Structure 1
């Protein structure tokens, strides 16, 4: 097995086409196909499946893809670490941020990183937690902040909650009812009161939506969903128009000006935000610095009250 074969295979899977990969790699298509045949023959397993829609990895190919990505990334990191060993880390560090977290964290994180580590370039991907988790596990990004339901064993400051993910809990965040006019006169609203609202929510694959669905089901309450949207900015626009309300973070993109914000209680709805890394491949020295910096900046925002509804992770 050769390093170039790993590069070839990864590119075919990412582009979904042998011909496009051949053009991208500047190699003749027959030669590329021959390399993949040799690789499958050596491993005694079929790695690629061809159909009218293109080329995709088989189940064995998915496993091989993750390991190939990890090996190639580790080689890049080794080269960078050796070349820039010492007190001045350099290189590209890829970070995933859910949209609501990016709204609060990205500006101070970028500013602090630029001051402390001017030779580190941050590459930030903003998306939904589910997609970001996939990118981390596949080795496409080095780390990501991910939301998940608040667990009952939050005493552990650092534990694994998913295969090949090392998870560092950062904060616990309350969820709020956001609406144009509010429900009742108080700052809090019960889940039963929230059930009276027409809701615009993220799709069912979204972690926050899963928390909301579970709470309504547990309470035996019906939920009236008028629209499912993946864009938090669009959800905010719908809420601001008065068409419907939503349940989510008070740090919604676009801000909460003009919106009524009421903490959901009875029961309280909460989610945990954790910093996750792929545990198969060691982080570069630059990535280690950014991991620590994210933890530091997040803790500072929570302590200063600049992260609405957030509190530190409970300690044992």
Structure 2
């Protein structure tokens, strides 16, 4: 027995005919007949007597009507109650965002919250993935978008998308060509690494390759702006995404080349503390984030593959 069967039963009870009930529910008569037969079979009782002038409820039908009305009223009340809660979402939610996530959805997330949830206070915290995880574990943020978080029982991590890494730098540094560059060739270049706090895996999951990059790195920085300035100044090149240095690439100040042998990827996760109880404000913010990420990928603003 489910809510649809009860709703169809109530319509038949009110109209005393399958045709009238079908019109009010906007379904085919055959569909109503099918659901009524299944309901009667499940309950083991006939619910209506078929008479020339229509359907008349049996004693079992009258009893079921009493229960069905109460159940349907309770379901409607629950729906109204939850709708009222959604319409008055309030509270405070802090979201920790990786740099790429800020660029892709940060402004849109703030705009949606202001327009649709005026009683919700949104706090956006931009930081490197490793630092964001520390903030999440210390309860300084409620939700975190981070790359390649280490597996741990205290975190609930949901993979959202996968990005392909590229080499970014000036043309005179990485070559005036769109041809792919191998990892072995890349390791001969002066690399600038974005330090990720406690989580170097935020750049790559390949630990051995990370160690090689760290050993060859000319500079290591924990500032995206410092890396951008250093790349434009020709101090080195960096592994990142096209979104990472989008403005500089579009202006022509920097160039990018695909990386092969192997292709390098990273995965963005939505992380939460596993045992933290959910709130309406948190669930609302999470849904907004997931929707905006899907839109950004679908529109091409975020070059990635949804997972």
TM-score under structure 1 length normalisation = 0.63
Cα pair 1:175 1:263 within 8 Å, conserved: yes
Give the equivalent residue in structure 1 for 2:113: 113
The superposition leaves residues 125-176 of structure 1 with CA deviations (integer Å, 9 ceiling, x where unpaired) of 1111111111112222111001007xxxxxxxxxx93221111211001111
2:305 maps to 1:311:
yes
Distance in 2 separating the partners of 1:237 and 1:213: 27
Give the equivalent residue in structure 2 for 1:243: 235
Tell me the SS of whatever aligns to 1:108.
helix
Matches within 5 A, 1:128-277: 128-148=128-148, 161-181=151-171, 182-183=174-175, 185-203=177-195, 205=198, 206-209=200-203, 211=205, 214-215=208-209, 224-252=216-244, 255-256=247-248, 257=251, 258-277=253-272
Give the equivalent residue in structure 2 for 1:101: 101
Cα separation, partners in 2 of 1:187 and 1:284, compared to 1, 3 Å = farther
The superposition leaves residues 104-137 of structure 1 with CA deviations (integer Å, 9 ceiling, x where unpaired) of 2201111122222222121011111111111112
Distance in 2 separating the partners of 1:221 and 1:136: 28
Q: Which runs of 4+ in 1 moved over 6 A?
A: none
**1:247 Cα offset (Å):** 0.6
Greater Rg by CA: 2
Cα separation, partners in 2 of 1:85 and 1:271, compared to 1, 3 Å = same
Q: What is the total number of aligned residue pairs between the two structures? A: 219
Q: Which has the higher mean CA deviation after the structures are superposed, 168-177 or 185-194?
A: 185-194
Distance in 1 separating the partners of 2:265 and 2:147: 10
Gaps of 5+ in 1: 1-81, 150-159
**1:244 Cα offset (Å):** 0.6
Tell me the SS of whatever aligns to 1:161.
coil
Q: 1:298 aligns with which of 288, 293, 301?
A: 293
Cα separation, partners in 2 of 1:221 and 1:247, compared to 1, 3 Å = closer
Cα pair 2:147 2:203 within 8 Å, conserved: no
Cα pair 1:175 1:249 within 8 Å, conserved: yes
Cα pair 1:200 1:244 within 8 Å, conserved: yes
CA RMSD of aligned residues (A): 2.7
Cα separation, partners in 2 of 1:240 and 1:211, compared to 1, 3 Å = farther
Which structure features the higher share of helix residues?
2
Q: Which has the higher mean CA deviation after the structures are superposed, 163-172 or 187-196?
A: 187-196
TM-score under structure 2 length normalisation = 0.65
Give the equivalent residue in structure 2 for 1:279: 274
**1:263 Cα offset (Å):** 2.0
Tell me the SS of whatever aligns to 1:162.
coil
